[in-house]
Amino acid sequence: MLFNSPIFLFLFLPLFLSVYYLIPLVYKNRSTALSWRNAWLFASSLLFYAWGEGPMVGVLLLSIVTNYTAGLLIAGGHRQTGLWLSLTGSLSLLFYYKYANFAVETAQHLIGWPGSWANTGLVLLPIGISFYTFQGISYVLDVYWGRIGVNRNFIAYGTYTAMFPHQIAGPIVRYADIAPELSERNLSVSRLVSGIERFILGLAKKMLLANTFAEVADTLFNAPVGSITVAAAWLGIVAYTLQIYFDFSGYSDMAIGLGRLIGFDFKENFNYPYTARSIQDFWRRWHISLSSWFRDYVYVPLGGSRGSTTRTYRNLLIVFFITGLWHGASWNFIIWGLFHGAFLLAERAGLGHRLKQWPAVIGHSYTVLVVLIGWVLFRASDIGAAIAYLGRLIGLNGSETNSYVYTIHHFTSTTILGTFILGALFTTPVHLIAQRYRNQTSNGVFQEIGYVVGLLCLFFLSMMSLAASTYNPFIYFRF
């Protein structure tokens, strides 16, 4: 079930919220009402997952039971047993469902395993397994390190892991961040309004911006590389760069908005990453919940930057190798991760210091160029396709026939041009500036009415786009 699907918007969400908001009217005791709200949220989240994944909901439940039990074992004094149960259980599920096919295919190429060994099509990837696996591991590690207390209430813990707003594409929510709200949360009118506003903005990002960029990017990346001009190749990667940002940040906005509607405050997952002036700065702003997870649960435990320079570089490369692998079972993603890691090493070796001394435009241009090239590795179907597309960006791999050629002029309609201009504009903090101005000058009813009408127009346009569009899932669902 997708956030931008009619079944979610007009059936699941209204029914869920109706029951959720009515529970305190039935159970006057606050503690009892909260318990029933958690139970309703947990059950609804399992239904939400099973709606599209069917039996795969069993994998989610197994992950929940494994990490819940591990936490109890650690709290009961069986610290090593609990820790290893979580790590081996969670990572075994992740490896089998996400990496078994990749491991077998790689082994076939390296040591010549016969094709009969690779019944790889039988292992299907459960949506969101990377996200809920990392949430479970972070919970157990925090219990093990004494950062948080164990939650002995299975429903409350299950609610944390399975909660449908962040269930299948993040952000990666840490237990410590929402633990108080699992036991006590209040809904206010201002929080509900803020949640609706954030959800609509995220929906508009997806339907009005990301999907338009997807049409351009898919057309150019799926075409034979020799059939596109150099300018069109650059347009394709710019389109994908904008698509993946508005697609993923749009989902995160919707998740944060839904969280507010039910009384939870999820942390921000994006902070205008394309305004960064270095790759290090980019990773402070892009997919913040993932980069901070790797920092706290991989990089720091490995030693971080506390040892020698060599050990620091090693730790960084390990983190970005895993970062690439987390995104997908493909050498494309591994190389993409190491590509970013290499530039982080260069910045630590002195490039970062120079970037701070140079004009901001140089640092920004360098960062955008590195990110653009990296997205080619991320988007291409395989390494060969990525190399061919990168070659086309510099004029190589041109067509040797008179077959149909895509030029930049094929994508100059008013709608596409306008969307690119808006996309470039909204990768900057222009919305924050407008919001700050609105808050400072908001003293008239007409201004507030105008803002509400604007949000309703965005929702209406998003619904029109939804009615006219084909199936177009969020990019990060497959991770």
Question: Among all residues, which ones are annotated catalytic?
Answer: 327
CA torsion sign, 62 to 174 to 134 to 248? Answer: positive
406: three-class secondary structure by DSSP: strand
CA gap 40, 61 in Å, rounded? 16
CA gap 59, 69 in Å, rounded? 15
Give the list of residues 6+ apart from residue 445 with CB closer than 8 angstroms, or none: none
173: left (phi over 0), alpha (psi -120 to 50) or beta: beta
Helix (H) or strand (E) holding 279: helix 279-285
Going by the DSSP 8-state scheme, the letter that residue 125 receives in this structure is P
> Exposed, middle or buried, 262 (CB in 10 Å: 0-12/13-18/19+)?
buried
> Exposed, middle or buried, 202 (CB in 10 Å: 0-12/13-18/19+)?
buried
* Nearest C-alpha neighbor of 477 from the set 173, 199, 210, 130: 130
User: How many CB atoms are closer than 10 A to CB 425?
Assistant: 10
CA gap 105, 111 in Å, rounded? 10
CA gap 382, 59 in Å, rounded? 29
